[in-house]
């Protein structure tokens, strides 16, 4: 009986402490203004905004197999920063196609996503894989950026869509 009484007392005290905190949290949430999608997008673009540079997209054939073609891609994301990538798409043109831009995880490179990109292209997508900052071809002398901003990959992907015509 003593243990049951202690548990009930502990629950009563916990409820007395937690309930007012939860209620005030719920009230403070409702007092915050809601943000629409346009405002969120605008704020995000301000965070990743950098001085504009010409994209200077460069494409060169990389071959193909199994009904797919591969093309090497580079474009300028910001001053002095070229982003290398590979585009894999079905050999036969079929007008506009949906595109998937894939970015590898830490310690990998665009080449590590070739199988995924090929599978996507087999299903009718244009697949683009790019090297993240400090990875793959972006680790060679003279190609590293001076800062490691957490918004870097978002900028790279944003600029990657322009050569694709989106």
Residues 108-136: pLDDT tens digits? 888 888 999 999 999 999 999 998 888 88
Burial of 143 (0-12, 13-18, 19+ CB in 10 A): middle
- What integer pLDDT is reported at residue 129 of this predicted model? 93
Residues 1-15: pLDDT tens digits? 555 656 555 555 555
Q: Is the pLDDT of residue 33 over 80?
A: no
> What is the spatial distance between Cα 26 and Cα 20, in angstroms, rounded to a whole number?
10
pTM of the shown model: 0.59
Cβ proximity of 85 and 131 under 8 Å? yes
> What is the spatial distance between Cα 53 and Cα 141, in angstroms, rounded to a whole number?
22
**Residue partners of 154: CB distance under 8 A and separation at least 6:** 44, 48
């Amino acid at each position: 009986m003593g243990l049951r009484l202690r548990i009930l007392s502990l629950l009563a005290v916990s409820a007395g402490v937690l309930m007012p905190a939860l209620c005030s949290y719920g009230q403070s949430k409702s007092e915050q203004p809601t943000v629409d999608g346009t405002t969120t997008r605008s704020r995000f673009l301000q965070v990743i905004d950098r001085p504009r540079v010409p994209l200077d997209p460069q494409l060169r054939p990389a071959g193909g197999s199994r009904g797919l073609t591969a093309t090497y891609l580079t474009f300028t994301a910001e001053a002095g920063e070229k982003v290398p990538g590979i585009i894999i798409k079905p050999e036969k043109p079929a007008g506009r196609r949906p595109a998937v831009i894939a970015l590898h995880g830490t310690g990998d490179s665009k080449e590590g996503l070739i199988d995924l990109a090929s599978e996507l292209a087999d299903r009718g997508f244009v697949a683009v894989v790019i090297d993240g900052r400090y990875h793959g071809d972006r680790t060679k002398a003279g190609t590293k950026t001076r800062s490691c901003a957490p918004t870097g990959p978002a900028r790279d992907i944003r600029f990657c869509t322009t050569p694709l015509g989106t």
